[in-house]
Structure 1
Amino acid sequence: MIDYAERYGSQGLEIYGHSRGSMTWFNAMATLDKRGETGVLSNTDVHYYGPLSNA
């Protein structure tokens, strides 16, 4: 997920996460934030449906 975000996050990436997928995406975003890579997702829309994490 991190590689995917780094490659396409500024190109109009649209993510739909459900249940476990939401948690996976949430963890990837947290890792990017810890690395200081906040601009990577500058053109990304994230939609959670029934997330397992506190998004």
Structure 2
Amino acid sequence: MSDHGVSIETIADLVGHAGTRVTEAVYRLQLRPEITKGAEAMNIIFSDNPQQESA
């Protein structure tokens, strides 16, 4: 589901977890694309090189 853009919160709700902590621990390998996208976005936001945003 994460590969198709479903948020970690939605996945946690669907599998019956009270929060995202257990979901992240159990499904960490499947959630990697979501985590990677977030890290890439943060790199752009906090970059010292404003040119990178247009890439």
State if a TM-score over 0.5 links the two structures: no
Question: Which has the greater radius of gyration?
Answer: 2
Larger strand share, 1 or 2: 1
Larger helix share, 1 or 2: 2
Measured against the shorter chain, the TM-score band is 0.3 to 0.5
